[in-house]
């Protein structure tokens, strides 16, 4: 949810293609509307899983830290955009049986949205096994901006 007064909030997250989803209580204000370069924002929410059978399960809490790192030019396969916002969001999901740490870096262009993102996920098991680490990167490949196609 993007709101000009409150910024970017997350209130529901679908789990893959399943009909199950997570509900954030209260909705997580991930990127406040009036952040400036160098600002840091903290948010915490509780997670509930809405199951396909209509039941709710308490999943635990998460803690977000959003850092507005810089304004920068970003080149993606579609085009180069000037004055893009670079945010780094660190999220720790604390569940009863695992802890998930996500570091998400996103570059956002005004009037376009997300141009590029880089994510690193680390899953810790309190049982002592080695952590599971995964990463993913995405870039805007094509775009239509004010009627103009890129590339």
The full 3-state SS of 55-110, as one line of letters, equals CEEEEEEEEEEEEEEEEEEEECCCCEEEEEEEEEEEEEEECCCCEEEEEEEEEEEC
Buried b (16+ CB within 10 A) or exposed e, 124-150: beeeeeeeeeeeeeeebeebeeeeeeb
Write down the pLDDT at residue 10. 67
Evaluate if residue 14 carries a pLDDT over 70: no
Q: Which residue has the higher pLDDT, 21 or 131?
A: 131
Segment (H or E) for 15? none
pLDDT reading at 31 higher than 90: no
> Is the N-terminal amide bond of 26 cis, ω within 30° of 0?
yes
Q: Which of the two residues, 29 and 39, has the higher pLDDT score? A: 39
9 — pLDDT class (breaks 50, 70, 90): low
pTM across the whole model:
0.76
> Six-digit token pair at 121?
């996920």
């Amino acid at each position: 949810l993007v709101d000009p007064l409150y910024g970017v909030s997350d209130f529901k997250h679908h789990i893959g293609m399943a009909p199950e989803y997570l509900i954030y209580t209260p909705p997580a204000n991930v990127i406040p509307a009036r952040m400036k370069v160098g600002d840091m924002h903290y948010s915490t929410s509780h997670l509930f899983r809405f199951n396909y059978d209509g039941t709710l399960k308490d999943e635990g809490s998460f803690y977000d830290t959003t850092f507005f790192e810089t304004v920068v030019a970003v080149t993606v396969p579609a085009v180069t955009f000037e004055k893009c916002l670079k945010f780094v969001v660190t999220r720790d999901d604390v569940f009863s049986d695992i802890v998930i740490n996500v570091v998400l870096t996103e570059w956002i262009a005004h009037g376009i949205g997300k141009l590029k993102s880089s994510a690193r996920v680390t899953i810790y098991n309190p049982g002592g096994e080695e952590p599971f680490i995964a990463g993913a990167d995405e870039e805007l490949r094509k775009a239509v901006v004010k009627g103009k196609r890129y590339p």
